[in-house]
Amino acid sequence: MFDSADLRRLLENVVGSDNVTDTDSSDDADWTGRFVGEPTLLVRPGSTVEVAEVVAVARRSGVSLVPRGGNTGLVGGSISRGRSILVSTSRLRNTGTIDPLTRQVTVGAGVTLHDIQEQAQSFGLRYPVDFGARGTATIGGTVATNAGGVNVVRYGMTRRQIVGIEAVLGSGETVSHLGGLVKDNTGYDLAGLLCGSEGTLGIVTAVRVQLVPLMPHVVTALVSCDDVATAVDVVASVCSRLDTVDAAELVTADGLALVREQIGLEIAMPNRRIHLLIECSSASEQVDVLSDILDEHQGIDVAVAVTPSQRERLWRIREEQTPSINRLGVPFKFDVTVPLPSLAPFVERIPLAVEKVRPGARTFVFGHAADGNMHVNVVGGDGDEVALTEQVLGEVVACGGSISAEHGIGTAKQPWLHMVRSTSEIDAMRSIKAALDPDGIMNPGVLLP
Ligand code: FAD
Ligand code: 2HG
Ligand code: ZN
């Protein structure tokens, strides 16, 4: 706890005493329980002006700031460290009205993914960034991490949805560019830069996003087979023939068994090693087109779901992977991308590679097959944690992959950034940080070594 009553008083003067609270380490952890915060103050500004004043207080007081959205991040970036205070965006929840001409809307950083998705849907539109933490993850957090999710194959990551941003930089300056012009070549793309900056440059307070049409016909195919190479071929052939593929998600038999065991999900599934969910959405019916493409493949079982309840049951298998793994114990998470030609050997090999350095561990692999983005989760076992990380990330880098696909670097992977970014690149990033956050108060310890 800070001994400085002055700091609390200064913050209370900005946001009101109801909006400054003490955290305590017993309940201030990340979603997995791996990263536990140091006791500190949590401050909840209610406007961009208040955020700027909080930043000013921090600069004067020599404390650092840890931005916090929904605290669903998986790399320890929203957890307090050292002499820092948490800045929650929970009160930045203003939502504009959707502009029907541009199909854009400006939302406060604290608005959840679920809320923006609901708002879009009521206009026959869609905000296509989507994943299991939608009820809690915020637009600010998803921008800060450049979140991906299940629809990246069709719509891209968060950065592609952003047409404007407002933020308070570590320097104390507020930048606001929310006009939403799609064509706007007037210098550095600050929205693109802040997207993926993990709270190290400033605090995002509002975002203007582009929405896409909500397609009325949705079909989800369950494709089951015995090896990852077949699954990769199926995804490649569907994606090269259809431009309506929203998602292509891979789950293993072990992951399926875990979900069944953990939540008692009763669902008839073929007894195969690998399962794929391929979802397409379009303006007109396309069950037959998808089925015809899948029929061309040998050695697969196919089941097609069209009703919302059938589809929802299939999606539970995928979305319950993360919560089910957490129920087994605190996992080591590796969110990696490998080039598609290496995807099958990587998925087949990685549990064996883990076993070498962490005997007795259970390894679950699942993820976004079309993007080459796999989530390797390791629970239990014995062995050195650093050796485990170096083993998994070493396999990834050896095949030309990335040590973070969509969750970011955070504190969890910061010591290993050099494996995928050159000294020149890291120096360039440091220069950007020094310019926008000259006192280094924004989320120190995250991303940059
Ligand atoms: P937080 O966890 O609060 O913060 C994350 C990072 O962003 C921290 O570094 C924090 O300091 C910074 N930050 C937060 N808000 C701001 C702001 N306003 N300005 C500046 N910096 C800020 N991620 C994916 O990409 N794809 C997935 O499919 C996916 N699925 C998930 C499923 C589950 C069940 C869970 C628990 C998580 C999943 N995640 C996924 C990870 C997580 O939800 C995302 O990283 C999300 O973007 C974090 O949003 P948040 O609001 O919870 O941010
Ligand atoms: C997902 O795709 C998320 O479900 C979480 O990115 C991945 O739990 C994980 O490792
Ligand atoms: Zn993911």
The residues with which 263 forms a beta bridge, in sequence order, are none
Pick the atom of ligand 2 nearest to 322's CA.
8
Kindly list the domain boundaries of the chain, sorted by start residue. Answer: 5-88, 104-213, 217-319, 328-423
Write the pLDDT tens digit of every residue in 357-384: 999 999 999 999 999 999 999 999 999 9
The residues with which 41 forms a beta bridge, in sequence order, are 22
Q: What's the CA-to-centroid distance between 364 and ligand 1, angstroms?
A: 21
The tokens describing 186, both together, are 């007037």
Q: Is there an atom of ligand 2 within 6 Å of 131 CB?
A: yes
Q: Is there an atom of ligand 2 within 6 Å of 377 CB?
A: yes
Q: Is the pLDDT of residue 325 over 70?
A: yes
Nearest alpha carbon, ligand 1 atom 46: 142
Q: How many other CB atoms sit within 10 Å of the CB of residue 449? A: 11
Residues 67 and 33 sit within 8 Å (Cβ to Cβ): no
Q: Is there an atom of ligand 2 within 6 Å of 132 CB?
A: yes
First-to-final CA distance of the chain: 26
Farthest-apart Cα atoms in the chain, separation? 71
Same fold, 217-319 and 328-423: yes
CA atoms within 13 A on the CB side of 225: 20
Q: Which ligand is nearest to the CA of 84?
A: 1
Compute the average pLDDT of residues 190-204: 98
Q: Residue 26: its pLDDT value, please?
A: 63
Q: Is there an atom of ligand 1 within 6 Å of 132 CB?
A: yes
Q: Residue 24: its pLDDT value, please?
A: 75
Residues 275 and 222 sit within 8 Å (Cβ to Cβ): yes
Residue of 30, 31, 74, 403 best suited for mutating to test ligand 2, as the one with most atoms within 8 Å of CB? 74
Per-residue pLDDT band for 267 (boundaries 50, 70, 90) equals: confident
The tokens describing 434, both together, are 């020094």
Q: Residue 306: its pLDDT value, please?
A: 87
Q: What's the CA-to-centroid distance between 97 and ligand 2, angstroms?
A: 31
Compute the average pLDDT of residues 168-196: 97
Looking at every residue in the chain, the average pLDDT score rounds to 96
Instruction: Decide which of 3.30.465.10, 1.25.10.10, 3.40.50.300, 3.40.120.10 is the CATH code for 104-213.
Output: 3.30.465.10
385-398 vs 340-357: helix crossing angle, rounded to 10 = 160
Q: Is the pLDDT of residue 131 over 90?
A: yes
CATH number of 217-319: 3.30.70.2190
Write the pLDDT tens digit of every residue in 99-127: 999 999 999 999 999 999 999 999 999 99
Which of 342, 395, 371, 293 has its CA nearest to residue 131? 371
Compute the average pLDDT of residues 31-42: 93
Write the pLDDT tens digit of every residue in 201-240: 999 999 999 999 999 999 999 999 999 999 999 999 999 9
Q: Residue 4: its pLDDT value, please?
A: 77
Residue of 75, 407, 442 best suited for mutating to test ligand 1, as the one with most atoms within 8 Å of CB? 407
Q: Is there an atom of ligand 1 within 6 Å of 144 CB?
A: yes
Residues 218 and 311 sit within 8 Å (Cβ to Cβ): yes
Q: How far is CA 272 from CA 222, 275, 345, 347, 361, in A?
A: 12, 7, 18, 15, 22
**Helix segments in 252-380, DSSP class H:** 253-263, 287-295, 308-319, 321-328, 340-357
Report the alpha-carbon angle 361-365-370, nearest 5: 165
CA distance 408 to 73: 9
The percentage of residues in the chain with a pLDDT greater than 90, rounded to a whole number, is 95
Which of 33, 132, 144, 134 has its CA nearest to residue 87? 144
Pick the atom of ligand 2 nearest to 407's CA.
6
Lowest mean pLDDT among 23-32, 170-179, 315-324: 23-32
Per-residue pLDDT band for 3 (boundaries 50, 70, 90) equals: low
Q: What's the CA-to-centroid distance between 253 and ligand 1, angstroms?
A: 28
Per-residue pLDDT band for 81 (boundaries 50, 70, 90) equals: very high
CATH architecture group of domain 328-423: 2-Layer Sandwich (3.30)
Compute the average pLDDT of residues 270-297: 97
Q: Is the pLDDT of residue 291 over 90?
A: yes
Residues in the chain: 449
The tokens describing 49, both together, are 């002006």
Q: Which ligand is nearest to the CA of 30?
A: 1
Q: What's the CA-to-centroid distance between 142 and ligand 3, angstroms?
A: 12
Q: Which fold has domain 5-88?
A: 3.30.43
Nearest alpha carbon, ligand 1 atom 44: 73
What are φ and ψ of residue 293, in 5° steps?
-65, -45
Per-residue pLDDT band for 27 (boundaries 50, 70, 90) equals: confident
Q: What's the CA-to-centroid distance between 406 and ligand 1, angstroms?
A: 10
Q: Is the pLDDT of residue 1 over 70?
A: no
Q: Is the pLDDT of residue 333 over 50?
A: yes
The percentage of residues in the chain with a pLDDT greater than 70, rounded to a whole number, is 99
Q: Is there an atom of ligand 1 within 6 Å of 74 CB?
A: yes
Write the pLDDT tens digit of every residue in 378-420: 999 999 999 999 999 999 999 999 999 999 999 999 999 999 9
